Amino acid sequence: MVPMSMIQDGAPPLTAAERFHDFLQRLVPYALVIPGLVFVLGVLGYAVAGGVVLSLNETDMFLNQTFVGLKNYIDIFKDPRFQSSLWKTIVFVVSSITLGIALSMMFALTLYHVGFGRRFFRGLSLVPYFVSGIATAVMFRFIFTTSGGFVNYVLGGLGLPTPSWLGDPVLAFIVAVLANCWFMVPFATLILLGGLQTIDRDIYDAATIDGASGAQTFRRITLPLIKPMMGVSLIWVSYISFSTFDIILALTAGGPLRATELVSVYMYQIAFLQLDFGQGSVLMVVLLTFNTVLSLVYLKIFVFGDRRYKAAR
Amino acid sequence: MTIISRTEPQPSAGVVEFIGSLRFRAGRFVLIGIPLVILVIWTTVPIVWAVLASLKEPLEIYQSNTLLPSNPSLDAYREVLSMPGFRGWLWNSVLVTVVATIVPLTISILAAYGFARYAFRFRHLLLLLYLVPRIIPRVSLIVPLNNLMTDLGLVNTYWVLFITYTASAIPLATWILVGFFGSIPKEIEESATIDGANMWNRLRRVMIPIAWPGVVTAGVLCIREAWNEFAFVLALVNETGMRTLPYQLYMLKDSMGVQDYAVYNAFTVLTVLPLLIVYLLLERRVVDSIVSGAVK
pLDDT at B50: 92
pLDDT at A3: 46
pLDDT at B215: 95
Q: What is the pLDDT of residues B165-182, one digit of tens each?
A: 999 999 999 999 999 999
Residue B61 covered by a domain:
no
Chain A residues within 8 A of B63 when measuring between CB atoms: 147-148
Distance from CA of B10 to the nearest CA of A (A): 28
Chain A residues within 8 A of B120 when measuring between CB atoms: 26, 29-30
Q: What is the ipTM of this complex?
A: 0.86
- Average pLDDT for residues B65-85, to the nearest whole number? 81
pLDDT at A99: 97
The dihedral formed by the CA atoms of B247, B250, B254 and B259, expressed in degrees to the nearest 10: 120
Other CB atoms within 10 Å distance of the CB of residue B159: 14
Task: Tell whether B181 and B265 lie within a shared domain.
Answer: yes
In this predicted structure, which of A178-182, A286-290, B30-34, B149-153 has the lowest mean pLDDT? Answer: B30-34
Give the count of alpha carbons within 13 A of A222, CB side only.
20
pLDDT at B26: 73
- Number of compact structural domains in chain A: 1
Chain B residues within 8 A of A182 when measuring between CB atoms: 42, 46
Residue A41 covered by a domain:
no
Q: What is the pLDDT of residues A89-138, one digit of tens each?
A: 999 999 999 999 999 999 999 999 887 888 999 999 999 999 999 999 99
Task: Tell whether B148 and B38 lie within a shared domain.
Answer: no
State the residue range of the domain holding A261: 80-312
Task: State how far Cα B285 lies from the chain centre.
Answer: 12
Spatial CB neighbours of B250, under 8 Å, sequence gap ≥ 6: A134, A246, A249, A250, B230, B234
In this predicted structure, which of A192-196, B24-28, B292-296 has the lowest mean pLDDT? Answer: B24-28
Residue among A28, A242, A281 whose CB faces B137 most closely? A242
Task: Tell whether B115 and B255 lie within a shared domain.
Answer: yes
pLDDT at A5: 44
Q: How far is B269 from A131, CA to CA, in rounded Å?
A: 10
State the residue range of the domain holding B92: 77-291
Q: What is the pLDDT of residues B224-276, one digit of tens each?
A: 999 999 999 999 998 888 899 999 999 887 665 555 788 889 999 999 999 99
Inform me whether the C-beta atom of residue B255 falls under 8 Å from chain A C-beta atoms: no
Question: Residue B52: is its pLDDT beyond 80?
Answer: yes
Distance from CA of A34 to the nearest CA of B (A): 7
Chain A residue whose CA is closest to B279 = A130
- Average pLDDT for residues B71-99, to the nearest whole number? 89
Task: Tell whether B48 and B147 lie within a shared domain.
Answer: no
Chain B residues within 8 A of A245 when measuring between CB atoms: 139, 230-231
Which of A238, A129, A183 has the alpha carbon at shortest distance from B217? A129
Which DSSP state fits A269? I
Residue A285 covered by a domain:
yes
Q: What is the pLDDT of residues A193-227, one digit of tens each?
A: 999 998 888 888 888 888 888 888 888 888 888 88
Residue A33 covered by a domain:
no
Q: Which 3-state string (H, E, C) describes A43-61?
A: HHHHHHHHHHHHHCEEECC
- Average pLDDT for residues B91-103, to the nearest whole number? 95
Strand partners for A58: A66
**Cβ-based contacts under 8 A for chains A and B:** 287
Residue A141 covered by a domain:
yes
Other CB atoms within 10 Å distance of the CB of residue B186: 11
Residue B6 covered by a domain:
no
* Residue B169 near residue A306, CB atoms below 8 Å: no
A136 contacts B167? CB cut-off 8 A:
no
Task: Tell whether B126 and B262 lie within a shared domain.
Answer: yes
pLDDT under 70 in chain A at which residues? 1-12, 61-63, 306-313
Average pLDDT, chain B: 85
Question: Residue B10: is its pLDDT beyond 60?
Answer: no
User: Which of B34, B108, B135, B271 best probes binding to A when mutated, by most A CB atoms within 10 angstroms?
Assistant: B135
Residue B64 covered by a domain:
no
A280 contacts B164? CB cut-off 8 A:
no
Residue A42 covered by a domain:
no
Question: Residue B196: is its pLDDT beyond 50?
Answer: yes
* Residue A174 near residue A252, CB atoms below 8 Å: no
| CATH code of A149's domain | 1.10.3720.10
* Residue A190 near residue A122, CB atoms below 8 Å: yes
Task: Tell whether B32 and B154 lie within a shared domain.
Answer: no
| CATH code of B174's domain | 1.10.3720.10
- Number of compact structural domains in chain B: 2
Task: Tell whether B50 and B196 lie within a shared domain.
Answer: no
Distance from CA of B25 to the nearest CA of A (A): 11
Task: Tell whether B151 and B48 lie within a shared domain.
Answer: no
